[in-house]
Amino acid sequence: MQSAYRPIRIGLLGAGSVGSQVARLLLENQAELAKRVGAELKLTGIAVRNLNSKRDAELPAELFTTDAESVILGSDIVIELVGGIEPAKTWVMQALNAGADVVTANKALIAAHGPELFELADQLGAQLYFEAAVAGAIPIIRPLRESLAGDRIDRVMGIVNGTTNFILDRMESTGADFDEALAEATALGYAEADPTADIEGYDAASKAAILASLAFHSEVAVEKVHREGITSVTAMQIETARQAGYAVKLLAICERVSDGGLVARVHPTLIPLEHPLAAVRGAYNAVFVEAQSAGRMMFYGAGAGGPETASAVLGDLVSAAKRHLAGGPGLADSTHANLEALPVQFVNTRFQITLEVSDKAGVLAKIASIFADHGVSVETVQQSTASNSAALLTIMTHMASERDLEAVVIALKEDDSVVSVASVIRVEGL
């Protein structure tokens, strides 16, 4: 049955690994998508920086142009897949001002300028869709934004960067050190030539800001997210953790705290091997949600990749196209709670501290007293030999505040019986 509605014009900005797959799927599945939407989705133009760049898919040459403005102004829906802040922000604003809905996978843009863009879209009666901005193909934005809108979410915890999960997984499964695992990730295409955004936690922090904003109906700037990368994680740490029944994962954790605000943080974390997140291998992502009424849920799948991320983009595109046909306002962004994003010092959690100490009588009692003096309760202590004159202590605490633990670490570093504080890592999921 032929739709009476004219074709919905789709403009694409960017034709990299994701953009080229979006274009391919749009062209290949045009008839099926038309049935789902109720009107033809017509790809009218693809704006790129270089017309001669190699693409991941064979696409009609006549669709390509370097004139992004013409693509934007000639579209009902604009798909932004160029990444970064500029020119992406300018183009998205131009599209919204021109009356188009926008679909984006740009996590950096949404994390940095989401509130501004959502406000503009709301004023203009347009929609801004961003399912692909977090965790690739995994549907997590829509459940937080819509399905769980009537519930109270207390915590979101997840693996949201495939590169770092691959590296940590390889270190665990093969015993490789960080540099070896990073080299393998680079060779396989999981890590960029400059992996800083991944391994230093910047990518995960952007996604944490988005998740926290949605889960807690509050504006959370990416600068408010506590961030630590994985460059200091050693093969010995990972092996020691496994022997103790834990896996090391780079987690994004967003949670309500007792002080009435929220804390968003990204850092290497010990998580029990029996926890579902511990079983997430390779470059896969998973997000674990704790809601007051719905309970615990986990969303798992491919967190990156051209076809995988394209799937999320096309899901948003179908939603945008259906809204375009139906008319009326779309789903507004909700920041009504206005919870304050607090520093990581407001968090209470467990810690594992590894110390190299002088191997002599009375040291263990002295170390224990330092913890006690600062209100941190010790759960377990494991001792092993580091050298002829030094011992290695692995200490697991009960729940403690970040403030108190920081004070403990300062005191330990000042004590003459402590050779070094080898590592401090948080423990979650117990």
* pLDDT above 80 (res 140): yes
The span from the CA of 89 to the CA of 78, in Å, is 13
Q: What is the model's pLDDT at position 189?
A: 85
Of residues 423 and 305, more confidently modeled: 423
* pLDDT above 70 (res 118): yes
What's the chain's average pLDDT?
92
**Structure tokens belonging to residue 242:** 């496994």
Q: What is the model's pLDDT at position 264?
A: 98
Quickly state the pLDDT bin for 398 (edges 50, 70, 90). Answer: very high
* C-alpha torsion 76→79→82→84, nearest 10: 100
Quickly state the pLDDT bin for 259 (edges 50, 70, 90). Answer: confident
Helices (H) and strands (E) in the chain, counts: 14, 17
Q: What is the model's pLDDT at position 91?
A: 98
Alpha-carbon separation of residue 190 from 80, 165, 198, 360 (angstroms): 22, 10, 10, 47
The span from the CA of 87 to the CA of 107, in Å, is 14
The span from the CA of 320 to the CA of 312, in Å, is 12
Pairing of strands 284-291, 295-302: antiparallel
Weakest mean pLDDT among 60-69, 317-326, 328-337: 328-337
Q: How many residues does the chain have?
A: 430
Weakest mean pLDDT among 147-151, 238-242, 373-377, 382-386: 382-386
Q: Show the domains of the chain with their CATH numbers.
A: 8-139+307-326 (3.40.50.720), 142-302 (3.30.360.10), 347-427 (3.30.70.260)
Quickly state the pLDDT bin for 330 (edges 50, 70, 90). Answer: low
Cα–chain center distance at 275: 19
Q: What is the mean pLDDT of residues 138-153?
A: 90
Decide: helix, strand or coil at residue 368.
helix
**Structure tokens belonging to residue 236:** 């010995």
Name the nearest CA neighbour of 400 among 366, 365, 364, 351: 351
Q: What is the mean pLDDT of residues 345-362?
A: 92
* pLDDT above 70 (res 402): yes
> Which residue is it, tokens 């932004």?
80
The one-letter amino acid at 407: A
Cα–chain center distance at 141: 11
Name the nearest CA neighbour of 18 among 113, 164, 182, 136: 136
Q: Is the full-model pTM beyond 0.85?
A: yes
Q: Is the peptide bond before 115 cis (omega within 30 degrees of 0)?
A: no
**Structure tokens belonging to residue 164:** 């770092």
Q: What is the model's pLDDT at position 335?
A: 63
Side-chain half-sphere exposure of 145, counting CA atoms within 13 A:
16
pLDDT tens readout for residues 193-216? 899 999 999 999 999 999 999 999
Q: Are 14 and 71 in contact (CB under 8 A)?
A: no
Name the nearest CA neighbour of 373 among 419, 330, 404, 332: 404
Side-chain half-sphere exposure of 330, counting CA atoms within 13 A:
24
Q: What is the model's pLDDT at position 329?
A: 61
Decide: helix, strand or coil at residue 249.
strand
Please name the residue ranges forming H helices in 6-147. 17-28, 30-37, 68-73, 88-97, 107-124, 141-142
* pLDDT above 60 (res 9): yes
List, as own/partner pairs, every contact residues 89-96 make where C-beta atoms lie below 8 angstroms and the sequence separation is at least 24, other chains included.
Answer: 89/113, 89/117, 91/13, 92/117, 92/128, 93/117, 93/120, 94/69, 95/11, 96/120, 96/121, 96/124, 96/126, 96/128
Instruction: List, by residue number, the catalytic residues.
Output: 207
Q: Are 308 and 137 in contact (CB under 8 A)?
A: yes
The span from the CA of 267 to the CA of 410, in Å, is 20
Weakest mean pLDDT among 9-23, 108-122, 302-316: 302-316
**Structure tokens belonging to residue 262:** 């929220």
> Interhelix angle for 363-373 vs 402-414, to 10°?
140
Q: What is the model's pLDDT at position 255?
A: 97
Q: What is the mean pLDDT of residues 125-153?
A: 90
Of residues 308 and 66, more confidently modeled: 66
* pLDDT above 90 (res 334): no
> Which residue is it, tokens 């396989």?
188
Helix%, strand%, coil% for the chain, nearest 5: 40, 25, 35
Phi, psi at 276, each rounded to 5°: -55, -35
Q: What is the model's pLDDT at position 332?
A: 58
